[in-house]
Structure 1
Amino acid sequence: MFIPAATYRIQFHKDFTFRDLLAQIPYLKMLGIDTVYASPVFKARPGSTHGYDVTDANTLNSEIGTPEDFEKLQQTLKENQMYWLQDIVPNHMAFHQDNGWLMDIFENGPSSEYYNFFDINWNHENEELTGKVMAPFLGSTPDEAIANGDLKLVFCEDGFKIQFYENQFPASLISWPLILKNLAKNAIENEAKTAGLFELLKSIETETDLKKLHEKKEEILSFLRKTELKKWLENGMEILNKSQEQLQEILDKQYFRLTLWSRSDAEINYRRFFTINELICLRMEDSEVFQKYHAFIAEQYKKGSFQGLRIDHIDGLADPVTYLKRLRELVGETCYISVEKILDLGEELPQNWPVQGSTGYFFLAIVNQLFTSTKKENIFNEIYFEQVPDVQDSDYELLVFEKKMYMLENHMQGEIDNLFSLFRDSELLPATPGYSEKQLKAALQILLAAFPVYRLYTNKLPVAGQDADVLEKAFARAEKFALHLKKELTYFHQLFQEDIQALPVSAEKRLHFLMRCQQFTGPLAAKGVEDTTFYNYNRLISHNEVGDDPAIFGITINRFHQEMLERLKSWPLAQNATSTHDTKRGEDARMRLNVLSEMPEKWAEILQKWQAVNQQFLQTINNQQAPSKNRIYYLYQALLGAFPMHGKPENDFKERVNAALTKAIREAKMYSNWSEPNEAYENEVLNFLEHILADDTEFNNSFLPFVKQLSFYGMLYSLGQTLLKITAPGIPDIYQGCELWDLSMVDPDNRRPIDYELRKNYLQELAQLPENSRENALKSMMQNWPNGKIKMYTTWRALQFRKANANLFTQGEYIPLQTSENENVLAFARKLEQHWCLVLVPLNVVNLTEAEHFPLCQKTWQHATIYLPVHAPENWKNIFTNEAISLRNEVVLAEVFASFPIALLTSESI
């Protein structure tokens, strides 16, 4: 099987293409990367910045390069013994005119071979949507759009289209006779020119056979393309589009129904990705859909262009385990497969999935929690509740439930209605009297909102194992939140968990309903937690992160060791990520903010000062303070996390903070939101930011020295985080550009262009350092740590060591090491046969050293030691300093940390 040594995530788009990556291949190889981890490269909506809005999974995206560009890139990778991990998107495609499958449905209806490829309810209970898919893309009602000329019929080279704004959807073939009839009626030119049209119309005006209509299509098009008919056609179309009656009659014959975009919050008849109308989900559980969607992917794998696959949003699929088994059968056992899966810190990836592991959010969370002090949680809570009293009475679990219910009631009612319709249509309603549909629907909503994790993965009843535990927790939570619905919740429990003969229908229908519910709990969790709760619960926002849990305030060293031992046992080849294209803030910003957990007293003091000096900039909007206390608490942390390492904001810093802050306000959905932005409130918040960041303010005078202090300590943790990512069980993954400092804010800020020339220059300098004389170079890197070269050095040396000793990290043991300073250093060994390496990372650095003083030598470590196993080698080499060290049974930390703040020791020379 192909096993990456280290992956490097690349975000392709029109401004970073195959050719752009080609120029960086020598640099990536020199850094120690052996696998390009590519965002989706398939045809996507024009201008896509991410590639997840696929319009054709069987074609390369021309905006990022030609097939020849791709082949040249692949050849260069092979010449450099490098590989390719491809991100694929099986859950959804773009609802867009370039989506050929969807457009074929719009033209051909039930006769289209793709008619059942998308997750559409063609028999929706709303008669307006029977046989049609809702297209919620209008900025007004359809009547208004027609009256304003925003919605009209047009004639193109390949036929009639319904045009709205810049979009064009093909008119159904069954509507062509009506269109031609209206055009004939509207004709104002002499009849001799259009005699042929009347003959064509006569031959098809009562035709319902699609095959025969297709046979006539080209004949009709050839006729209408005649030059002498151009004026006649234009006049006829103009009259038609001015006639509300004629145009509406034609629209009624389409297989889509255009509506106001916001209507989808209350009603929708297709499954969408989260709440994004522009992304329509596939029925990937259908074997034909699977085969057609993966044809090009399989071809590229067999051709050798792809060596691994990353599966996007596995939670959206009806039956993930069956999908993964089909995929494994398609690509064979040698393909490395990673799944995008967000796991609760107590949740396990299903053991029956034929994959190498997940994309690394779990590792991100564990490392993030490791660098958070567990000791001062109570003090931190007191500070937050004092600053933001409104949060005090709302525990995190209840807040998550409330925000999920908010999403259900305000933005996902269409989805819950569809689920309940399935419940009813499957004859799952109780046979006994005493139940109302209203109460049952309410119970279903509460149960779905009460799920403690994203979803279950069962495909059989009764639910067993981890899924059964999750389901029981969901029912227990639901009952706690809705005691008045206990009877209804008990009924759902019987449906899912009990084998009672008296239940109204077969287990097959019950299971189908449960599995459909699980395609819904994932999006509900994502929107309710990641995109809402994370912007409302601001105790320590470094943990308001994808995969992490803001309710947890740090873990112990022993817990970290336990998690790594379990990872080595179950998922040794899972990815170790610390930043991705979806993380809320950069990996180094999180480490910096975690330092606050070690200094709550100083944090409280600085907050009181800022509260006093910034009081003058507060405003009142509709009796609400702007910004709110909670938003200010968030803002201060966001600024501390994002402020540049060198202590001076770049020219675009305020603009970037404005964008991220506006997004945070709208995602919080308290005083503004995306569908109805409260511009007055938002403007006052941005004005507040403008005031406090002005030159020579009292805020700035205290902010700058404080952020400088945090930056230094955060830098130490960032180096530790980097080393752990590369040496702990799992495959290290580096997000583009993160070999230098990453203080980015939420997307799209974290997808800004990367300065590869700077990185190449730095790496070239590092590569030229003499092996036997690094002391001065290390001192220089530490003195100039804000430039990031010290992080690149850590990354480069650790990656090179890992690449040269791949088996040690993919097959070797993980051995936790005990220290005489249990709280101040994390230490472990990796061992394979007679080869060992030691990893040592300082913790609780605020107590170890003063700011700007690296935790080195006797002054910091005194007589602290690490105890080695009795059979450990005596002779070692420090990978970072190149020093030879002799160790007997123990490691003296003052010696190991003599000239560099983290340590990677090897028992063999490299």
Structure 2
Amino acid sequence: MSRPPISTYRVQLTPDFGFAQVAELAPYLRDLGVSHVYLSPVLQATPGSRHGYDVTDHSRVREEFGGLKGLRELAETLAAHDLAIVLDIVPNHMTVPVPESGNAALWSVLRDGPASPYASWFDIDWNGGKVAMPVLGDATEPRVDGPVLRYHDHEFPHPGHYRLVDWRQGPGYRRFFDVSSLIGLRVEDPAVFLATHEVILWLVDEGLVEGLRVDHPDGLADPAGYLARLRRRTGGLWTVVEKILVGEERLPGDWACDGTTGYEVLNRITRLFVDPAGERPLVELFHELTGWPDGCRDTMIRAKREVVELFFQSEVSRLARAAGADPAAVAELLVAMPVYRTYVVPGHGPPPEAVEIVRRAAATCSPAVRPFVEQVLYGDAETITRFQQTTGPVMAKGVEDTALYRWFPLACLNEVGGEPDHFALDPATFHAFCGELPPHTMTTLSTHDTKRSEDVRARLAVLSELPDEWAEAVRGWSAQVGSGDPHLDYLGWQNLMAAWPISAERLADYLLKAAREAKTRTSWVKPDPAYEAALREFAARAVELPVGEFTARIDAHAMANSLGQKLVQLMLPGVPDVYQGNETTDFSLVDPDNRRPVGYPRTPAGEWDEAKLLLTTQALRLRRRFEAALPYTPLAAEGAAAEHALAFARGRRAVAVATRLPVRLARNGGWGATSLRLPPGTWHDLLTGGTPYTGKIPLAHLLHRYPVALLENHDL
């Protein structure tokens, strides 16, 4: 069995940044201190794809990146620098666009129907004898071109076992969320598993890959069964899953993996640096400026109800047909579910926690839902599995991609898996959570899917300590510039301030995506050109205002938050991941903004950059010098400012100290006589290189240069 990573560095591969370009980073990444390079999907995808999750061919490494030869050469180069590879894999879906040279498996199924040798690959509803393909959008007639039927950019075999329907209509197959261009795979079938994992398993067998990140396991028919098969076949390879855990939810105990990709850690770290005293004034300001009537939970329920009606009618109908249930009852229970999935497995009896969650959700529904509740818990395999595969997309589209763009008193809390009405987290609760973290789970602060980078969130967290100053500033800006939609304007002001400096074009692109996701005045399905033009005009005028002056006033505090959250993430139990470029400051917004090219080597542009790069490098190098399973021990400061210190030890080897709520700390006169008693040993500060520390240390002395300290015991 290969070694688990000590740390990872996520690199986003693109057609113009492939394996050869990553290989050039090897000396830089080695010196940074990471142990593994974590690559975005590498299998053949739609030509030109900037993300790689739209796989077209599982039998090939993507030619645009350099193909299998390029990947082997990359692995050799990395190995020469004591680095290895972690791969992001996509077991849930493939791309639907099926030109004859692309997804050959799906082309075969559309041409030959159930008689195709690939018919078992895809989760298709053959109700009516043909699979519905939702592509039609205007009066243009499809045209036959020899063996191909063409409709705009779409190509299909002619004739075939499909029917073209309106693009707004749901497809005749399970898809990724509401994305009809991605068709669900049936990897629960062992033959499909082997066929779709062929290249990945070769790479593991050859020792070229030492870890896997599994994309969207909640979409699978049997996540636990899939992970068990994957672990057996890879010999126990380190594996983490992209799983969103809500509230106190934990990863299912029967999943054969090392942990998650870290969103539950990310959100708790963010809340650790948010002042609970800011909740009431910021919520009141949000209502004042936006006129938004609902609270967070009401907003989520309303958004989920809307997305079910807009996007998931085909899924509701298929599930209702399987259960012999009323579609309205099916939709009602889907909306009421508070988590992404409850992991009921047909024939095994539902876990007690699943029964509790489903029944509690049903208690908020009409009596018509009760018979359906029994079916999703104790019914036939088709009903149970379909329900399990549908709750996640409803949560994702209703909460992540709708409600979080509607209710945002403090936007740093509106992250994937976040609960924006849970404003803050106290150190004791945070320590208790960290003490239970699996030793090899992934921890993160920024990813290719986060809605804001970690440093944008660090700036936004400062607003919780300065609600009055923020209110004065944003009222002044709003009096000068508006789009006609004060609700979206307020989201714009938060992100403009926190991502500063930002171009009008980048801000406009963000606002356009946010507005379409919110679906209150425009949407992807029904765009409003006049409204969207007003947003672009708003962005052009807003960036001309002195918003950067406010940002500059708070940046010393934002830097403290940024360094504090980075230190905590890098030193917690688990495998810390650094998203490309975030070893220095990064002020990116939601994709595609956060997937822009990154320049290397990262050259510090100021004090914040220098401090963050120094901290990241020293922490990652330290991680390479100690065992991952070292105990996590909270350390308590003593004195009037004790609440502003977050400190912990990793065994007898390392101590991390971070400053939290820096505005209030400064207003109260700083650290004063507050001190921290270090564990036994002689402790060297890896950031300042100053005189070693022992015993009880005044925090004013320990943190005199940086708002964080990273100490290593040199007695060991």
| TM-score bin, normalised by smaller chain | over 0.9
The correspondence for 1:847, drawn from 664, 670, 673, is: 664
The correspondence for 1:490, drawn from 352, 358, 370, is: 370
Matched, 1:829 2:649: yes
- SS of the residue corresponding to residue 683 of structure 2 reads strand
Unmatched runs of 5 consecutive residues or more in structure 1:
125-129, 173-253, 430-439, 480-484, 498-506, 619-625, 695-699, 763-780
Q: Contact conserved, 1:137 with 1:260, CA < 8 A, in 2? A: yes
Q: Contact conserved, 1:578 with 1:587, CA < 8 A, in 2? A: yes
- SS of the residue corresponding to residue 849 of structure 1 reads helix
Give the Cα–Cα distance (whole angstroms) in 1 for the partners of residues 131 and 373 of structure 2.
Answer: 33
- SS of the residue corresponding to residue 143 of structure 2 reads strand
Matched, 1:59 2:60: yes
Give the Cα–Cα distance (whole angstroms) in 2 for the partners of residues 111 and 63 of structure 1.
Answer: 33
The correspondence for 1:804, drawn from 606, 625, 639, is: 625
1:328 alignment partner in structure 2: 231
Q: Residue deviations 1:147-188, cap 9 Å, x none?
A: xxxx22223xxxx2222233432334xxxxxxxxxxxxxxxx
* CA separation of 1:457 and 1:790: change in aligned 2, threshold 3 A: same
Matched, 1:3 2:4: yes
Q: Report the Cα offset of residue 511 of structure 1.
A: 4.4
Q: Residue deviations 1:809-866, cap 9 Å, x none?
A: x1111111111233211011110xxx3311100011012237xxxx9xxx73221012
Q: Contact conserved, 1:407 with 1:527, CA < 8 A, in 2? A: yes
Q: Residue deviations 1:21-73, cap 9 Å, x none?
A: 11111111110011011110000011111000000112111111132211111
Q: Contact conserved, 1:17 with 1:63, CA < 8 A, in 2? A: yes
The structure whose residues are more often helix, as a share, is 1
Matched, 1:270 2:173: yes
Q: Contact conserved, 1:10 with 1:39, CA < 8 A, in 2? A: yes
Q: Contact conserved, 2:322 with 2:382, CA < 8 A, in 1? A: no
Give the Cα–Cα distance (whole angstroms) in 2 for the partners of residues 692 and 417 of structure 1.
Answer: 45
1:813 alignment partner in structure 2: 631
Give the Cα–Cα distance (whole angstroms) in 2 for the partners of residues 261 and 400 of structure 1.
Answer: 26
**Pairwise mapping of residues 475-554 of structure 1 onto structure 2 (< 5 A)?**
475-476=362-363, 478-479=364-365, 485-486=366-367, 488-497=368-377, 507=378, 509-554=379-424
Give the Cα–Cα distance (whole angstroms) in 2 for the partners of residues 688 and 101 of structure 1.
Answer: 47
The correspondence for 2:512, drawn from 639, 662, 675, is: 662
Matched, 1:718 2:562: yes
Q: Residue deviations 1:454-489, cap 9 Å, x none?
A: 11112145422332332233223x33xxxxx22x22
* CA separation of 1:271 and 1:496: change in aligned 2, threshold 3 A: closer
The correspondence for 2:499, drawn from 610, 622, 642, is: 642
1:907 alignment partner in structure 2: 713
Q: Contact conserved, 2:59 with 2:196, CA < 8 A, in 1? A: yes
Mean alpha-carbon deviation: is it higher for 308-317 or for 370-379?
A: 370-379
Q: Residue deviations 1:361-409, cap 9 Å, x none?
A: 1111110111111123222222222222333xx2211211110110111
Q: Report the Cα offset of residue 74 of structure 1.
A: 1.1
**Pairwise mapping of residues 12-411 of structure 1 onto structure 2 (< 5 A)?**
12-97=13-98, 98-122=102-126, 124=127, 130-140=128-138, 144-146=139-141, 151-155=142-146, 160-172=147-159, 254-264=160-170, 268-333=171-236, 335-391=237-293, 394-411=294-311
Mean alpha-carbon deviation: is it higher for 345-354 or for 879-888?
A: 879-888
* CA separation of 1:688 and 1:836: change in aligned 2, threshold 3 A: same
The correspondence for 2:675, drawn from 865, 870, 885, is: 865
1:689 alignment partner in structure 2: 539
Q: Contact conserved, 2:333 with 2:369, CA < 8 A, in 1? A: yes
Matched, 1:792 2:613: yes
Q: Residue deviations 1:412-451, cap 9 Å, x none?
A: 1111111111112xxxx5xxxxxxxxxx322221111111
1:766 alignment partner in structure 2: none
Give the Cα–Cα distance (whole angstroms) in 2 for the partners of residues 296 and 837 of structure 1.
Answer: 40
Q: Report the Cα offset of residue 689 of structure 1.
A: 2.7
State the TM-score, normalized to the length of structure 1.
0.76
Q: How many residues align?
A: 709
Q: Which amino acid aligns with 1:531?
A: D
Matched, 1:576 2:443: yes
Give the Cα–Cα distance (whole angstroms) in 2 for the partners of residues 886 and 19 of structure 1.
Answer: 45
Q: Who wins on radius of gyration, i.e. which is larger?
A: 1
The correspondence for 1:472, drawn from 359, 374, 387, is: 359
* CA separation of 1:493 and 1:414: change in aligned 2, threshold 3 A: closer
* CA separation of 1:405 and 1:823: change in aligned 2, threshold 3 A: same
Give the Cα–Cα distance (whole angstroms) in 2 for the partners of residues 842 and 518 of structure 1.
Answer: 42
Moved over 4 A (4+): none
State the TM-score, normalized to the length of structure 2.
0.96
Q: Contact conserved, 2:344 with 2:388, CA < 8 A, in 1? A: no
Q: Residue deviations 1:504-528, cap 9 Å, x none?
A: xxx5x43431221110110111111
Give the Cα–Cα distance (whole angstroms) in 2 for the partners of residues 904 and 292 of structure 1.
Answer: 47
- SS of the residue corresponding to residue 4 of structure 1 reads coil
Unmatched runs of 5 consecutive residues or more in structure 2:
none
Give the Cα–Cα distance (whole angstroms) in 1 for the partners of residues 621 and 636 of structure 2.
Answer: 27
Using the aligned pairs only, state the percent identity: 36
Q: Report the Cα offset of residue 312 of structure 1.
A: 0.3
- SS of the residue corresponding to residue 590 of structure 1 reads helix
**Pairwise mapping of residues 545-624 of structure 1 onto structure 2 (< 5 A)?**
545-567=415-437, 571-612=438-479, 614=480, 617-618=481-482
Q: Report the Cα offset of residue 875 of structure 1.
A: 1.6
